[in-house]
A and B are shown apart, each in its own frame.
Chain A
Amino acid sequence: MSDNKEQKGKEPASKNVGTTALAEPKLTSVGHETRRIDGPLKVTGSAVYTSDHNFPNMVYAVPVGATISNGKITKLETSEAEKMPGVHAIFHRENIGQLYRVAPDTDFSAYTDEPRPAFEDDIIRHFGQYVAVAIADTFEQATAAAHAVKVTYAEDKPNVSAALTADTPVKVESKRGDAEGAFAKAPIKIDETYSTPTETHNVIELHATVAVFDGTNFTLYETTQGVVNHKNVLVQVLGVQPENVKVISKFLGSGFGSKISPWSHCAIAAGAARKLNRPVKLVLSRKQSFHSVGHRPRTQQHVRIGAEPNGRLVSIQQDYMNHTSMLDDYKENCGECTSYLYSVPNLKLTASLSRRNIGTPTSMRGPGAVPGLFATESAMDELAVKLKMDPVQLRILNEPQIDEGLNIPFASRHLIGCYKQGADLFGWSQRDPRVGSMKRDGLTLGWGTAGASWIAERFPASVMVQLHDDGTARVASATQDIGTGTYTVFAQVVGDKLGIPLNKVDVVLGDTSLPSGPLSGGSMGIASIIPATSKAIEQAVGTVLLAAVKTPSSKYFNAKKDELALTNGRVHRKDQYSKDGVPFEEILKIANLNNVSGSGSSASTFGQKKQQSFHSYGAHFVEVTWQEELARLRISRVVTVIDAGKIMNPKTGRNQIEGAIVMGIGMALFEGTEYEPTKGAPLNSSLADYIVTVNADMPKLDVHFLEVPNTELNEYGARGIGEIGLAGMAPAIANAVYHATGIRVRNLPIRIEDLLTEQA
């Protein structure tokens, strides 16, 4: 990890132990374009992902999925499969050993969206539900054996209907004033229903488990967004003690929420390993990835907005529902941003669930906010059209002074700043609001905008830092880098605090034997790890300074610890510059210490009662081109401005937002899992039929950060940015499509046929 470009910055980000050290320039990469420290491993195939693990005597597991989505297994014939070459076992409900349910969880410490373990009963509730697993010496043998397992079902008609109905009591999620009354009297009304389809995460790394069992202990190589949560869930499912399970996830091929919590295949692999006393590798197929590893559920949202002719909002109502599975109550919280996004005296949000014969849904990047904002930000655009008002103006006019949902002040809100900077960069003032009026090179242009918001929170975190006698630092925490750049930001924080280059920082993550770290979810990783790392470093540095004053051969022997500081990697007197001091490793060497360590923890803010409303914000500006004669719609240009506090690493940070825009293009134009009504199977369960954005779809991207740090969550004022870029992207595109074509598409994805049929 030697090729990171360090830059000298003058930011006073590094707090020294004590307070009166001389001010001097400090070595730091925080806030500078910094290469990923794990980059060389990723580009050489040396980064080890779950399914890259191979062990002596390892066998392969291929699950057998139900071919119906509602009914009961009446017969499971395994004898033919068991006799096939290389087959060790066909496991199912009768013979895999007990797998337990997961107890209800309230704090994401042992959380799963699907508490039912595999094979718990013979009832089939969704297509692809695991009914058995074939174990053989090779993947080919196991695949053949899985196909040879004969399952007979008593089949009932499934319900996978996309027309959602409230199957659970309608719950009021937020309420102020009299939304119904105000809407009835409002002079200007928008009253529309919007829907977003089932979206499948389709992470390119297939879900996988490699389970190793030594007779007592499990080592589970997993692809997970939370090694600690994963372990705590598997401990329960396997019915074993915490000390007997270790979860490793050094690298994972992203998650987008689908790897937040374990799915039932994980315990199938572990259960098989326990039965056979052999390592078991289980890699789901792409097709299976559409069945039993979560998805963003379909949403249906009835939005009513009342306004004055001058554009002032008088009421917002958002009645939303999403499908969930037969057993689990996964709620897509579409009202996530609605209660605080605009100033409106009357508001009511309600939620309910629709039960379907579909696998359990889960969080997908920006859960709740992302589909919710599609509805509300589309509706705001419809209102702007009706009012003949500029959509940016409409938003500025209705900017709230406080969070009116919680009646508390905003900690940091610069949404209007995002709109203003984005509008300038985009050239929004040149927009002619008339539909189809703007042309370029024979194409019709559409310009649209929408706002974004996402929570700013912290999970609990513990971190250990060691300073070694070779001048390196090691920082360790049981969290993981899902591709967001956690390894690198960890190194940047340690490098910044100690004033040492990144190539002297070793970051160790993805292993439950390390101090418990945060989930990589909710865009909380960065904010969560900084305070704990800071405390750990403070403790380790304190010990180095103590060694400096207590070691007889030290230059600082018998000095007072308080007179010393550690800056730019060197121990020095506070009244002298660090260049006159001694490298910390020299102190350790003369004291004959291999290393000194420090530990730090910080608490969660998530779910706690708030004094201030803390979110990130953003604004998207989108240009589409529309070629009516060919019905060819392209996205040509996107300008996005994000208000997410301090950006620790602009290189990886910009990439996060750009990647979210790419996913937003998919959400707006391509993505949607379709269920076939007679068998309930996802029809387009492949990457050829479930379309995601590819390189050729790329518009010109221009991403900016406002960078207004708020230090409530951590001293740098940094917060996570993994999700905010996807929020608001789909409505910005839909609004641009309306501007180009005059067609308002309220059901994602926007298909060419939407633009054709409504025109005819």
Chain B
Amino acid sequence: MAQDSDVGANTKSAVPGALPVNLTINKKSYSIAVDPRTSLLDCIRENLTITGTKKGCDHGQCGACTVLVNGRRINSCLTLAIMHDGDEITTVEGLGSVENLHPLQEAFVECDAYQCGYCTSGQLMSAAALLTENCGHKDEDVREAMSGNICRCGAYANIVSAIQSVRTKS
């Protein structure tokens, strides 16, 4: 599964009109200047090269870019980076690591709650938020609460199983 490691930094030249913003992402602080037009999603992915969060539509319609902002799930493509000065942001990288998977990540692997994996980061962040939300116990409650996250591969049944297995345990 060797991957090229050149996901690395994109050394951007200074952008005219950039504004300063302080973001805390996965408990790490970043003080950067961003183009005011930059979405939170593009700031995370392109400016900070934290690429686990994905872009699927850029219009808040697919959920692939879901992150937690101060504990609440949002579509990071629908908000501008400069609006999040001082905010605490959690991306999929902040949930757990390959060596130390979060119970949801573990459950997604066990339940095969993905296929291509592209929507998975967003599904996981929605699921992480769902655990803290006032969501009913039934599968259909979870399905409703997860319906902002499209999985074109159609692993929905397994996504629900994964989330329910974590909720049952906790």
Contact = CB atoms under 8 A, between A and B. Distances in A.
Contacts of A256: 152
A464 B121 CA distance: 33
A661 B156 CA distance: 11
Interface stretch (A160-168, A246-254, A556-564): A246-254
B147 A36 contact: no
Contacts of B152: 201-204, 254, 256, 663, 692
Interface string B46-64: 1001011111111101101
Given A254-B118, A695-B149, A695-B156, A53 B56 contact: no
A507 interface: yes
A86 interface: yes
Interface residues of A, number: 77
A348 to B, nearest CB: 36
A144 B42 CA distance: 15
Interface in B99-153: 101, 105, 108-110, 112, 114-121, 124, 140, 142-144, 146-153
A52 interface: yes
A655 B155 contact: yes
Contacts of B124: 43
A698 B140 CA distance: 9
A48 interface: yes
Interface stretch (A54-62, A262-270, A525-533, A706-714): A54-62
Chain B: interface size category: 35 or more
A540 to B, nearest CB: 19
Interface in B71-124: 91-93, 95-98, 101, 105, 108-110, 112, 114-121, 124
A593 B56 CA distance: 47
A375 B156 CA distance: 28
Given A138-B35, A658-B154, A687 B61 contact: yes
B62 A45 contact: no
B34 to A, nearest CB: 9
Given A204-B150, A253-B117, A694-B147, A54 B155 contact: no
Contact of B143 (A38, A660, A696): A696
A310 interface: no
Contact of B118 (A49, A55, A144): A49
A205 interface: yes
Nearest to B57: A286
Contacts of B101: 40, 43-44
A121 interface: no
A200 B109 CA distance: 29
Nearest to B61: A687
A652 B112 contact: yes
B167 interface: no
A139 B15 CA distance: 11
B1 A37 contact: yes
Interface in A103-117: none
B116 A658 contact: no
A104 B55 CA distance: 35
A48 B51 contact: yes
Contacts of A7: none
Contacts of B142: 695
Contact of A286 (B13, B58, B153): B58
A333 interface: no
B154 A205 contact: no
B143 A138 contact: no
A51 B45 CA distance: 9
B10 A54 contact: yes
A188 B25 CA distance: 69
A180 interface: no
**Which of B16, B114, B143 gathers the greatest number of chain A CB atoms within 10 Å?**
B114
A156 B69 CA distance: 49
Nearest to A136: B15
A140 B150 CA distance: 26
A686 B57 CA distance: 8
Contacts of A483: 114-118, 153
Given A659-B155, A687-B150, A45 B93 contact: yes
Nearest to B115: A483
A652 B158 CA distance: 11
A254 B8 contact: no
A407 B47 CA distance: 62
A48 B5 CA distance: 9
B154 A693 contact: yes
A501 B3 CA distance: 22
A202 B59 CA distance: 14
A745 to B, nearest CB: 22
B117 A44 contact: no
B61 A205 contact: no
A46 B4 CA distance: 11
Nearest to B160: A695
A204 B62 contact: yes
B98 A141 contact: no
B115 to A, nearest CB: 4
Nearest to B42: A139
Contact of B61 (A58, A206, A688): A688
A3 interface: yes
B168 interface: no
Contacts of A55: 6, 8, 10
Interface string B1-33: 111101111111101110000000000000000
Contact of A35 (B109, B121, B143, B160): B109
A140 B38 contact: yes
A42 B38 contact: no
A651 B108 CA distance: 12
Nearest to A137: B13
Nearest to A650: B112
Contact of A204 (B91, B95, B118): B118
Contacts of A186: none
Contacts of A57: 11
Contacts of B55: 51, 206, 283
30 contacts: A43-B92, A43-B114, A43-B124, A44-B92, A45-B53, A52-B51, A53-B4, A55-B10, A56-B8, A56-B11, A86-B13, A139-B46, A203-B116, A203-B152, A204-B62, A204-B64, A204-B151, A250-B1, A253-B116, A254-B115, A482-B116, A483-B153, A508-B2, A686-B57, A686-B59, A693-B156, A695-B151, A695-B156, A696-B147, A698-B143
List the 4 closest A-B pairs by CB distance, nearest first: A45-B52, A253-B118, A662-B154, A483-B116
Given A203-B152, A204-B118, A254-B152, 10 more contacts: A39-B112, A42-B114, A53-B4, A53-B7, A204-B64, A482-B116, A483-B117, A688-B59, A694-B148, A694-B156
Interface of B: 1-4, 6-13, 15-17, 35, 37-38, 42, 45-46, 49, 51-59, 61-62, 64, 91-93, 95-98, 101, 105, 108-110, 112, 114-121, 124, 140, 142-144, 146-160
